[in-house]
Chain A
């Protein structure tokens, strides 16, 4: 990755992350197909919602016939990390127009955010609209196309459970939580491990007395409050 901030440099820099999009995108397409979603719904989720892990949640909640309000709240909770990422990334584009800020913001993902943070280490804290847009648009198109290809392939595979594809979602969250654990230097390893243990315990006890989605909400919010308290104690 060189310091160039042109559109072309953006396309070049985003290519290594594209493999991740293809892998998880294919998995999502296959999972969506086995959950009886049509190609049109898969395309709608990928191109309009465009939210990796949230798309898996939405798919499973549609399958369980959960109420719309619960689906919206879960989507907001899963994506609430975007508020934090966008808030951090936006600091680099304050000099750009509001329209350009909204354009960048509407396509930010975990990966393009991480890529941008990596890039600004090499450009003395500078990012450009052209570079960020190139990374965002390539990621957006690759994700959408990979999910649709996955959904088509899913139709050719008669019994995808036999091949373990239903585990892709769980595996992705395990991967994401591990990468978060080792890369968030702001919070650090020991604090994050304590918070993880706390969340797991709360979730374990809560699913006996409330719905899984509500338990997820309670475990997340109390986990954040617990983390804030533990950070104060250090």
Chain B
């Protein structure tokens, strides 16, 4: 049970950033309206940020050169995606993904 100063500041700072993102819109909506362009811009944030986060796991950065594929993650992503299409359940995607990665590691693939 311990916490470094960096960890404490991270928790407090990120906690503040998160609660402001969540709660402030409720205060604003009660008093004023957001400009249409901003709502339009924000409507693309979920799909763009989640795609970029997936890419972060699927590509390996080689500074100064083109990126390469993270073979193990790309292979495990295939059954995970199929599980998502079949069940539409986040839990199943995570469970199947973990199992697929365990199988890949067992056979030392990737």
Contact = CB atoms under 8 A, between A and B. Distances in A.
Contacts of B49: 77-78, 80-81, 216, 220
Given A174-B84, A208-B61, A80 B94 contact: no
A51 to B, nearest CB: 5
Interface string B1-17: 11100111111111101
Nearest to A67: B6
Nearest to B85: A178
B30 to A, nearest CB: 6
Contacts of B25: 82-83, 86-87, 90, 105
**Interface range on chain B: under 10, 10 to 19, 20 to 34, or 35 or more?**
35 or more
Contacts of B84: 174-175, 178-179
A62 interface: yes
Given A40-B2, A86-B21, A87-B34, A212 B61 contact: yes
A177 B64 contact: no
Consensus secondary structure, chain A interface: helix
A162 B102 contact: yes
A171 B96 contact: yes
Interface string B48-76: 11111111111101111111000001001
Given A168-B97, A168-B98, 10 more contacts: A51-B14, A53-B53, A94-B30, A172-B90, A175-B80, A180-B46, A208-B62, A208-B63, A223-B48, A227-B44
Interface of B: 1-3, 6-15, 17-19, 21-30, 34, 37, 39-59, 61-67, 73, 76-77, 80-81, 84-85, 88-91, 93-106
28 contacts: A19-B91, A27-B98, A37-B7, A48-B12, A49-B14, A51-B14, A78-B49, A80-B21, A80-B49, A87-B28, A102-B26, A163-B102, A164-B103, A167-B76, A170-B73, A170-B76, A170-B80, A173-B57, A174-B81, A175-B90, A175-B93, A180-B47, A180-B50, A212-B56, A212-B61, A224-B42, A228-B40, A228-B41
